[in-house]
Amino acid sequence: MKKLIKKPEILAPAGSPETVLAALRCGANAVYVGAGYSARNDSVNFTLSQLQQAADLCHLYHAKLHLAVNTLLTDREFPEFAEFLKNAVRCGIDACIVQDLGILDYIHETVPDLPLHGSTQMSIHTPQGALQARELGCSRIVLARELSCDQIREIAELPVETEVFVHGALCMSVSGQCSFSAIAGGRSANRGQCAQACRLPWRTPSGENPAALSLKDLTLVEHVKTLQAMGVDSFKIEGRLKRPEYVAAAVTAFRMALDGRQPDLKLLESVFSRNGFTDGYFTDKKQNMFGFRRKEDVLAGQQVFCEIRETYRNPRKITDLDFDLELKAGTPAVLQVSDQDGNHVSIFGKIPEIAQNAPLRAETAEKYFRKLGNTIYEFHSIQFQNPDGLTLSASDCNAMRREAVEKLNHIRQKKINYQIRENSENSKKLENSEDSENFQIPRKRLHVRTMEQFRAVRESESEFILCVPMNLAEKLTPEQDIPVWVEAPRIIQNEKNYQIRLESLFAKGFRDLLCHNLADIRIGRRIGFTLHGGFGLNCTNSRTARSLVRQGLQDVALSYELRSRTIQEMRREIPCNCSAYLYGRIPMMLLRICPIRAQEKKCRHHRNCMLTDRTGRKFPLFCNPDYLELLNAEILFLGDKLEYFENLSYWDLYFTDETPEQLREIVQMYASNHSNYFNKNYTRGLYFKGGLR
């Protein structure tokens, strides 16, 4: 069923009460904020008191307040989050923006009627991924920022609301799939602590370029009519860390564009840009997407801030008022007031007096009730009845007008009283789950990328499960003596083709699919694969694991941002097999555009594909058919620390550029708990220091 196309909402970011006010006065239909569990740092998180004020202000303007809880939690954090959620709902929020599947499941059970929006951190970029999120309880999907016009159109046709980023910063990595800040500095982007290492100087193989991992800011202000015609429900502006003037300018520009007027693009660029804007992903023209913040960009903003502040100095008029004043002898004056949104109030004033000189006339009464200056209301009409020729003083009329405005404001600020279930079903473990203490000896899952590595593993005498990417699986015949699983790509460029390829592999005899995205789960389940969870699903708590099991997964990969002790504790609560990433170059970023090709204007065809940071460390860039992965400079090695992971079902060993000889040696090390690793340039990751607790 096709969606009814309507005028999209303009959704503005706010990191302060002043920014909420600026957004609403400039025409935002909704505002999103954080209050402690969002993918931005604490400096822009609202207190509960500020959240209450923001909700009241939004509702006064007939706008909505969305609360970002788009971060990952661990099990020990859920009791505190549960109390936070109850308080936030009582403040009057209208929706939650969610990344963590455990949080999504918990809110859906605890506050079943509260709308849930699947965050862009969920990395949803295909129709089947969107439908799977809807199945989990999402009424709206915030699409990945890397989609083209045609890809957005395909998802917008589905019976689920779509929200598209139309303005603001672009991350180099696909949102929700970046671990650079966490692995390199212990500050997880999935926890709102991103250190923005991508904005620092990086060097491509041919030389230094300060913007090698820094994209220009996005703007789709010139494409709003196209997006509206597609049926996109919400235009999202990025920038909860930005100033009120930035938000005011962006909201104004998109309001003008939606109304068919030409926005001031030069002013918009002056407020904040990185050497201009880009629409490269949307138009699929990616030649000029990189940029960095120059001195002249900073100075341009300072010159226009005062001008922009004037645009939100006064309240925006959003509705007309109709007045009906009746004066009768011996009874209090009666004032009826209604707005265009169907709200109505009755005010009783003082008893009017017999006029000594002239009675109160309609034009005089109109003058008193037109005084709506510092409000959201505009005078429209007045009906005046004074059959007895009475009079009412100016002060009495003004007092009735002020009371009417105050009561109307109160009515408009009424919030939905969502039912909160105190005893959520989420607290219960799944029925028929395995005994959490009945652990098996972990099996090794070896993830290879090349035919040479595949052959080297085949010659090994160790017991293992072999995981191969789709393009390699298509060259193979399923093994009879060892299990071979197909590992889904982390990005699906063409979902229909992807499904056809998976069906072909299933017909060929492959039966196991390792999933990295919600779309993999939905498609693989429909084909008949046995499903397994990959690290791309960001499992950091047992609630997420239970959600994945209910979706059909046989096992889950625990996030490599967790501490080993947290994994041990969490494992006892998870009703399925679990794995952890214990060897390999951890993917730091998931990219949709090649920074080397963009800077050097040519492809190196997998030769010397490295990026060098300002400390001299070299990070390999690995090409997949539809995306790239920036891998860590150091290799994760835990061959001598396996006792910390004995309660897992699988140990994941990921191989990238290892030779067959190195691969066999590493497999043997992990089979014998060996510490004599030949490559001294290794890391322990976050398992023993810096990981999530």
- Give mean pLDDT, residues 368-395: 96
What's domain 9-170+215-312's superfamily in CATH? Aldolase class I (3.20.20.70)
* Whole-Å CA distances, 120 to 303, 408, 564: 33, 37, 28
Range(s) of the chain covered by CATH 3.20.20.70? 9-170+215-312, 428-603+635-683
Residue 431 has pLDDT above 60, yes or no: no
**Does residue 326 have a pLDDT over 60?**
yes
pLDDT at 403: 98
pTM of the model: 0.94
109, 62 Cβ separation under 8 angstroms: no
Mean pLDDT over each residue of the chain, to the nearest integer: 92
Question: pLDDT at position 432, please?
Answer: 38
pLDDT value at position 531?
98
User: Residue 434: its pLDDT value, please?
Assistant: 44
Three-state SS at 324: strand
Q: Please tell me whether residue 611 adopts helix, strand or coil conformation.
A: strand
* The pLDDT value given to residue 436: 44
Q: Among the listed ranges 148-152, 600-604, 663-667, which one has the minimum average pLDDT value?
A: 600-604
Q: Is 226 helix (H, G, I), strand (E, B) or coil?
A: helix
- Model confidence pLDDT, tens digit, residues 443-452: 999 999 999 9
Question: How sure is the predictor about 427, in pLDDT bands with cuts at 50, 70 and 90?
Answer: very low
CA distance 284 to 93: 36
Query: Are the C-beta atoms of residues 217 and 277 closer than 8 Å to each other?
Result: yes
Q: Confidence band (pLDDT; 50, 70, 90) for 426?
A: very low
**Residues of the chain above pLDDT 70, percent:** 95
How is residue 656 written in tokens?
């990238």
Most distant CA atoms of the chain, gap in Å: 111
| Mean pLDDT (whole number) for 46-60 | 97
pLDDT tens for each residue of 209-223 = 667 899 999 999 999
Instruction: Say which CATH superfamily domain 428-603+635-683 falls into.
Output: Aldolase class I (3.20.20.70)
Residue 620 confidence (pLDDT): 95
pLDDT tens digits for range 151-176: 999 999 999 999 999 999 999 999 99
Asked if residue 385 has pLDDT above 60, the reply is yes
Looking at per-residue pLDDT, the higher value among 506 and 679 belongs to 506
pLDDT value at position 208? Answer: 64
In 3D space, the residue among 190, 188, 34, 25 whose CA is nearest the CA of residue 97 turns out to be 34
The 3-state secondary structure of 618-655 reads EEEEEECCCCEEEECCCEEECCCCHHHHCCCCEEEEEC
Average pLDDT rounded to a whole number, residues 89-104? 97
